[in-house]
Amino acid sequence: MRKKVIEIYQSGKGYKAISKALGLPRTTVRAIIYKWPKHGTVENLPRSGRPTKITPRVQRQLIQEVTKDPTTTSKELQASLGSVKVSVHDSTIRKRLGKNGLHGRVPRRKRLLSKKNITARLSFARKHLDDPQDFWENTLWTDETKIELFGRSVSHYVWRKSNTAFQKKNIIP
C-alpha cells in the first residue's frame, strides 16, 4: 500500500487525490511521502529499545509446553528455558504468554461423578422424596465435611485462552 502511495505521488498527484483514491487518511499519505526521501524506504524502520530475549522459537516452545500442560507455573517454564540456555524473568514469560492470548486463570471446578453415581443419587432422591422431617433430622450429612482428595486447598491456576474455561484440560475436580 505504501509503495502504491509513492507511485501515485511520483505520477504528479497531490495528497488529497491519493487519499481519496486509496481510501487512506491524508495524514497517513503525508507521513509516507515524508518518510520516503528521508530514509529511502517506506518499510518499518528499526525502533529504539532493548531487543527481546524471547525469540520466536522460544515463544513457540513456551506455547507448546503450556498447551500440553496448562497447570504449569511460570517458574517451571523459566526452569525449562534454563535448559535451553535462555535466561528470562518469570514475569517476562507471563507477559509473552499474555500477548499470545494465554492468561493465568482460576480453573473451573467439576465434581467427579460417574454415570453410576449420578443414577444412584437420583434414585435416592426419588425414593426419599416424601419422607417426613423427622427422618432428615437424624441423618448425618457427610457432604458438609471438607475432604481434600487432590492435594492441599491452595489456589490453582491454568494458562488458557478466552472461551476455553470448560475444556477438560482447564477443569480441576
Please identify which residue in the block is written with the cell numbers 525502533.
47
Crossing angle between the packed helical segments 56-68 and 74-82, to the nearest 10 degrees: 130
Amino acid 146: pLDDT: 67
At residue 144, the pLDDT reads 64
User: Any residues with CB less than 8 A from the CB of 147 and at least 6 apart, and which?
Assistant: none
> Apex CA 143: angle with CA 137 and CA 149, to 5°?
160
Pick among 1.10.10, 1.10.357, 2.60.40, 1.10.3470: CATH of 2-39: 1.10.10
- Taking only the tens place, the pLDDT of each residue in 109-121 is 887 778 898 899 8
Strand partners, 23: none
Domain-by-domain residue ranges, the chain?
2-39, 56-106
Strands 158-160 and 103-105: antiparallel
Helix 15-22 / helix 26-39 crossing angle, nearest 10 deg: 110
- Specify the pTM: 0.57
Q: What is the pLDDT of residues 139-165, one digit of tens each?
A: 777 766 666 666 666 678 899 999 988
Q: What is the pLDDT of residue 139?
A: 78
Asked whether residue 84 carries a pLDDT value surpassing 70, the answer given is: yes
